Chain A
Amino acid sequence: MAMESAAPSEPFHLSMLFNDTRYRARSIQVIAFILLVLAAAWLVDNTIHNLAALGKNFSFGFLWSTAGYDISPHAIEYSSTSTHARAAIVGLLNTLIVAAMACVTATILGVLAGVLRLSNNWIVARLMTVYVESFRNVPALLWIVVVAAIMSQAMPTPSAFRGDNPTASMILWHSVAVTNRGIYLPVPDFSSSLGQPSSAFGALDLNYAAILGTLALSLLAHRSLVRHTQRIQSASGQRPATWWKSLCVFALPMIALLYALGFHLEYPALKGLNFTGGLLLRNSFIALWIGLSVYSGAFIAENVRSGILAISRGQTEAAHALGLSPGRTMRLVILPQALRIIVPPLISQYLDITKNTSLGLAVGYMDLRSTLGGITINQTGRELEAMLLMMLIYVSISLTISCVMNVYNSRVRLQER
């Protein structure tokens, strides 16, 4: 060995593949690639043999056969005669709905708790510490199950609302009924309709489309108003008061439209043994929504707190030295800097909430996992295809969210030399 390596021309030797840094990187990668291909081939081969032994083939054709099961709630038109693909979409929408709602409430809770934990008020700061520590250190699943148990066991039955002397009564000016079947809420309704043309995903309500359109127009008008104000400010140094103009821009068209459409609320009413009318939020939905909100709120509170703490005291002092009011200091100096720190972990919390909606299985919420990954698998026996599809959907959701995060990160990055 020693003789060979000491040879003057230093001929290529097989051991140089591993001992010479010029070749080692490449040979390690070639070996890794070979091992990877072998492992993949082994897995695919096993899968083919196992599928053949079970007499199954690999096809996604089952998605277009009749599902045969009911899903409630369903955001788009769905019946038990719809296809498995449609059932999966309904489940996906349910996942996204509860995830979006939980993200909103968790953010509100988390920001409140995070800010209050930094408050000078001794007792509030302690209370928020207790909230954060106790909710963070107990599994999310337990919170979901606890809320479900409270809703189904401690709330009155609809029949308790009956009679001249009922044991339970509706709250909030007789509009909301909290029962052990869920919470009945009033829903907005219109006495005149602009029509409901049908589309691929069910009937499209033109009333709501009109409301959204008006809102968008108001937003555009508001933006031009703000630009106009900024021109005045840069020309004269005076910033005219705009809040009442903004209020008019948003409120007047909306009130006019709602009046024209005959907007009113449809209240839930007790008929027979149960409530009818209004919107029923089922226990499963409430359990998942509230459970995830209080759990993730505790994590968001910590993100918010650390983000605010990370902004050095000098920033506040500099802003005060410039003569900014405390409100403007917060809005123009502290928040933009704190948000840069808060938003990335906040978005990954949103990602966690979205993935944790799959815990709805414990309370019977019909999300993507319970439709495509649950009943569809049980009915068709296509666990391989359905699981692959479901994982693909979850990965695409998560990649979309991290894409948003990367765009945000690159937009707020400090401009360095």
Chain B
Amino acid sequence: MNLHNVSWVRQEMVLASARPVSQHGPLEWMRKNLFDGWLSTLLTVASLSAIAWLATAIAPWLGNSIWKAKSLTECRQLLDGAPGACWGVIRDRWPQLLFGFYPADLYWRPVLAFALLFAALAPVLFRVLPSRALWTSAAYPGLACWLIWGGSFWFPVAVYLGFAVAAALFTSTARISQGLGVSAAILGAALWWIYAAQPFSTGVNSIIPIAVEAVPSREIGGFLLSIIIGVTGIAMSLPLGILLALGRRSSLPLIQMLSVVFIEFIRGVPLITLLFTASLLLNYFLPPGTNFDLVLRVVIMVTLFASAYMAEVIRGGLAGLPRGQYEAAEALGLDYWKAQRLIILPQALKISIPGIVNTFIGLFKDTTLVMFIGLLDPIALAAAIRANTEWQGIYWEIFIFIAAVFFIFCFGMSRYSMYLERRLKTDHR
């Protein structure tokens, strides 16, 4: 008997038939994802009815949006009793919500500073530009301050020269001793800033006057203020947090104790009390007659507050590194700072990225708290607009606008942190 002519052996392939309708397609998807059991069905029905209720409430309100109204009464007349959103308040007051009482003809300056912010951040955030571009980023803070507050161009230059003084002192003395170099650099820069910076800038300004109209801090408000405080706080709290975290894990008992006391104290009190300290108590702790800008005080307090949280996040990252990494760094003969800089911190910071970005987001949201000490953040301005006779009684439109702007910034930051995690992922799990 030949195998080839056994009639019951199939010679040709059976064509694949389509899956049964009950196993795929939208119906099956719905059965699996929406109506899988009584609880799931109940949840689906509840969610759908909630969405429907929201939609029926919001759709006519959004559909009847009025943009061209100068006051709430005018808007209500136009609506004639129908539900509708009076976006006129945003159209009318958006400059105030964005810039506070910043002079209207100078709006281009903060806008330019904001645009330059992204240019300066690009080499830091994305690897599209050569790392030499970081040097131009370093010039950004001074430029932005000059654009926003105005005044003499030579003042930020004088402040930057302080760093040059520090660098020069460090390179000339570091050959004797690194510690001496660092001390000399700090001392020299401090002396420059305290005694020489102001005379230098006025002196140069009298020879080559480059100045733009100065804008006092009390005129800055709205999202401009939030972004100023947020960006400065973010930029400064990370290095400070790293130092505090290293201090808390230091083997020197005094340094460790100082870091622990600072971190636990700051984390134990609400930010509001720190802000009140900045506005009420700072005058007690400084030499009589000292008075410096409220925005600067707030920035310092917000930075200190965020750096304590940052320190705890980074400490978690440091603790998460296997002990072998520290031992390997020591075995290579690296000293403490080199080991931290080249081996420990890059890895520790990488695993604490989600926490760091969460702290950034928290800091940016916390900038709204400055309204309690009389600064005009968006929420304070919303309260002012709602107290105004023209727009008294309006709330949804203005709060939706503010919430949307905050959402865009915070959500953007959290998405960026996810991108960063993916980019820095080097393991193969």
Contact = CB atoms under 8 A, between A and B. Distances in A.
Given A369-B273, A398-B267, 18 more contacts: A25-B252, A29-B253, A33-B254, A47-B284, A121-B33, A121-B40, A123-B44, A124-B44, A137-B411, A140-B365, A141-B369, A142-B402, A145-B399, A359-B369, A361-B372, A384-B281, A394-B268, A398-B268
A18 interface: yes
A384 B284 contact: yes
Interface string A115-145: 0100111111001000001101111111001
A53 interface: yes
Nearest to A21: B335
Interface in B225-281: 251-255, 258, 264-265, 267-273, 276-277, 280-281
Nearest to B410: A137
Contacts of A362: 371-372, 379
Contacts of A369: 270, 272-273
B365 A139 contact: yes
Given A28-B252, A49-B288, A142 B368 contact: yes
Given A123-B34, A142-B379, A399 B268 contact: yes
Contacts of B287: 46, 49
A121 B402 CA distance: 32
A138 B285 CA distance: 35
B395 A139 contact: no
Interface of B: 32-34, 36, 40, 43-44, 47-48, 50-51, 177-180, 251-255, 258, 264-265, 267-273, 276-277, 280-281, 283-288, 361, 365-366, 368-369, 371-372, 379, 382-383, 386, 393, 395, 399, 402-403, 406-407, 410-411, 414
A150 interface: yes
A121 B35 CA distance: 8
Given A121-B43, A361-B372, A153 B395 contact: yes
Nearest to A26: B252
B252 A139 contact: no
Contact of B43 (A19, A36, A124, A358): A124
A133 B180 CA distance: 50
A399 B261 CA distance: 12
Nearest to A396: B268
B277 A46 contact: no
A213 B361 CA distance: 47
Given A50-B283, A127-B47, A356 B270 contact: yes
25 contacts: A28-B252, A28-B255, A49-B288, A50-B285, A120-B36, A121-B47, A134-B403, A136-B410, A137-B407, A138-B407, A139-B406, A141-B368, A142-B399, A142-B402, A142-B403, A142-B406, A145-B383, A146-B403, A362-B371, A391-B265, A394-B268, A394-B270, A395-B264, A395-B268, A398-B269
Nearest to B365: A139
A120 B273 contact: no
A391 B273 contact: yes
A41 interface: no
Nearest to A122: B33
Q: Is the interface of B mostly helix, strand, loop or mixed?
A: helix
A47 B276 CA distance: 17
Contact of B36 (A43, A121, A141, A359): A121
Residue of B50, B180, B273, B285 with most chain A CB atoms under a 10 A cut-off? B273
B411 A383 contact: no
A148 to B, nearest CB: 9
| Closest A-B pairs by Cβ, 5 of them | A137-B410, A395-B268, A398-B268, A122-B33, A149-B395
Contact of A120 (B33, B255, B280): B33
Contacts of A47: 284-285
A50 B43 contact: no
Nearest to A54: B284
Contact of A358 (B255, B273, B410): B273
Contact of B411 (A15, A133, A153, A394): A133
Contacts of A121: 33-34, 36, 40, 43-44, 47
A397 B269 CA distance: 9
B284 A394 contact: no
Contact of B379 (A18, A123, A141): A141
Contacts of A116: 43
Interface string A35-60: 01000000100110111010000000
Contacts of A394: 268-270, 273
Contacts of A138: 365, 403, 406-407, 410
Given A46-B284, A141-B379, A146-B399, A395 B269 contact: yes
A32 interface: yes
B291 to A, nearest CB: 12
Given A122-B34, A127-B47, A362-B372, A399 B273 contact: no
Contacts of A49: 287-288
B255 A387 contact: no
Given A120-B33, A145-B379, A384-B281, A358 B47 contact: no
A390 interface: yes
B361 A137 contact: yes
Contact of A18 (B180, B267, B288, B406): B180
